[in-house]
Amino acid sequence: MTYPEQSPVPTAVHYPVPLHHPTASAPLTPAPSVGLPAVQSVQLPDGHIISGYALTPTASAPTPAIRPVPAWAKTTALLVPTVGGGVAAAGIGLSYAAPGLIAMSQALWSAAALIVAAVIAVPVLVRTARRATGNGGRSGSTTHITQNITATGLFGRATGSISKP
């Protein structure tokens, strides 16, 4: 079965045939230039002329002198993996320690709450205990002291008396 891309009748293939056979000793001769600066034409021994870009050597830039690597760069290059490894180890350690750190922070908050409660509760309890026993835990009645102070004039001498009932 024939495909639409193919012709139904096979066609013969014709290869280019050179006009005359070149001899092995005939050198290549350059043909006159076409006018472009980088294009050269060459006439082959069989008579064909071929044009192409000529490869002209260009002056390369002088290579700079090779300088040694500075000491700080070597030190930095050696420390980078160490620091990276330390950071990675710290991250792994924190991931293992996270439950303990959470429990420790909760314990610290509990201790802080206990201290605050003690600072507030102890004076309240002491005051309540003194009121219950009366006179700071001592037996007897409460002593009242009365002071009478008098002075005459702006810069006069003050006199006073203290009495206990």
pLDDT in tens, 108-151: 999 999 999 999 999 998 888 888 776 555 555 677 788 888 88
Return the pLDDT at 165: 65
**CA 53, CA 37: separation in Å to the nearest integer?**
9
Residues of the chain whose pLDDT is less than 70? 1-37, 56-58, 134-141, 165
Query: Which strand (E) or helix (H) includes residue 160?
Result: strand 158-163
Query: Which strand (E) or helix (H) includes residue 69?
Result: none
Return the pLDDT at 15: 63
Query: What is the per-residue DSSP string for 8-41?
Result: SSPPPP-----SSPPPTTPPPEEEPP-S-TTEEE
The residue with tokens 């002329």 is 49
Name which of 132, 135, 156 is nearest 144 in CA terms.
135
Return the pLDDT at 158: 84
Residues in the chain: 165
The amino acid that residue 91 corresponds to is: G
**CA 2, CA 155: separation in Å to the nearest integer?**
141
Return the pLDDT at 11: 59
Return the pLDDT at 138: 56
Return the pLDDT at 163: 79
Return the pLDDT at 115: 94
| Tokens representing residue 74 in the block | 């070597």
Return the pLDDT at 14: 61
> Phi and psi dihedrals of 132, rounded to 5?
-70, -40
**CA 66, CA 68: separation in Å to the nearest integer?**
7
